Amino acid sequence: MAYTVRKLDDYAPAALDAAVHDLLSAVGQEAGSVAGENDWKLFRDRWMARKNGILTQVNDLWLKAAPGPAKREVGARVNQLKTEVERAVDAAQQRISSSGSKSRLDSERLDITLPGIRRPLGAEHPVLRTMSEIVQVFRAMGYSVADGPEIETDYLNFEALNFPPNHPARDTQDTIFVAGQERKPQRDRLLLRTHTSPVQIRAMMATPPPIRVVVPGKVHRADTADATHSPIFHQVEGLAVDTNITFCDLKGTLDHAMKAFFGSNVKTRFFPSFFPFTEPSADVSVTCFKCGGKGCRLCKMSGWIELLGCGMVDPNVFQFVKSNGYDSRKISGFAFGMGVERIAMLKYGIDDIQLFYQGDVRFLEQFN
Ligand SMILES: [Zn+2]
């Protein structure tokens, strides 16, 4: 039976003590059965609510109703009851909140003997890895590294490299132009650079001769993607200018670089070629590093693989940077360039260039 407050009819001290005892044992019992936050709120309100809480009823039915001579005795006991009830309510709250945090501790227990989460290490992308390996070969020969913007002016991408406006050589590089520039003079129009060569001009504008730079970077052409073409790919380009630089220096440098990159028994071969910014120009082949020159599918049975283009810097190019000390009567130089994807495909035996750009971890994790 839940405790209810009844009017007192006997104000003798022994009868008052008995009433107090009944009430305290009731509050103790109810406090003991409080099991959670909601329980506790109901318990608190039942005993302590201003309006109709048990303590309020005790005040009304015991103290206010007591006859004058008994008020002192009753009042002392009512005060004692208030203190005891408040203490019981506080104690119940303490008990449920500490048991709550204990169960939380239990549920969040950390088993430090469980194995940890192993995070797989990433690997350098094969294109970037190949590019930095090539750069490293030339750095070891004393070349510094330069780079430049991918959005370039027509002037630096073509004109200063001896591709005059309307020159047919421009057609060999399908160019992506930035839209809405019809009002600008042609040389100021912006495009996505079709090769890293404009950085050669930028380097010569920034540094008087002698200069030796290698330029790794991303280039863009309006090519349809297929197994050997991508509208975005990477090149490494090099430039050396000094007094008395000859074609022999070019041959020796590239022969050494290819041996450093592919192995010391690789041979190189130079064929006449054409590039607007070099004269004479050459294509360079290396002996097939798969069959060693005997002939296989990779080299199409020829024993040779065509890898890069090069040549002596055309004196017309020096005209554009003459004011910075590039006087073609006093200095000469050579330049070379290669496609990074092509070299990576040959080196790792990859037959589809698109694999480089698809981000498929099953492909990429082979290069760990
Ligand atoms: Zn071969």
- Give residue-wise pLDDT tens across range 273-295: 999 999 999 999 999 878 888 88
For 214, list phi and psi in degrees, rounded to 5: -125, 140
Q: How far is the CA of 349 from the centre of ligand 1 (A)?
A: 12
Note the pLDDT of residue 249: 97
Q: How far is the CA of 305 from the centre of ligand 1 (A)?
A: 8
Q: How far is the CA of 139 from the centre of ligand 1 (A)?
A: 29
Query: Which stretches in the chain have pLDDT values below 70?
Result: 1, 100-101
Three-state DSSP state, 85: helix
Q: How far is the CA of 287 from the centre of ligand 1 (A)?
A: 8
Note the pLDDT of residue 232: 94
Q: How far is the CA of 348 from the centre of ligand 1 (A)?
A: 14
Rg over CA atoms, the chain: 45
Note the pLDDT of residue 163: 87
Note the pLDDT of residue 123: 81
pLDDT tens for 182-218 read: 899 888 999 999 999 999 999 999 999 999 999 999 9
Using alpha carbons, list the distances in angstroms from residue 304 to 63, 205, 274: 114, 37, 20
Query: Parallel, antiparallel, or unpaired for β 278-287 and 268-275?
Result: antiparallel
Note the pLDDT of residue 99: 73
Note the pLDDT of residue 114: 85
How far apart (Å, rounded) are the C-alpha atoms in residues 132 and 145? Answer: 11
Note the pLDDT of residue 169: 74
Q: How far is the CA of 296 from the centre of ligand 1 (A)?
A: 4
How far apart (Å, rounded) are the C-alpha atoms in residues 212 and 333? Answer: 9
Q: How far is the CA of 179 from the centre of ligand 1 (A)?
A: 44
Note the pLDDT of residue 124: 87
**What angle is formed at CA 112 by the lines to CA 108 and CA 113, rounded to 5 degrees?**
130
Note the pLDDT of residue 332: 96
Q: How far is the CA of 361 from the centre of ligand 1 (A)?
A: 29
Name the one residue in this structure whose structure tokens are 């440098």.
253
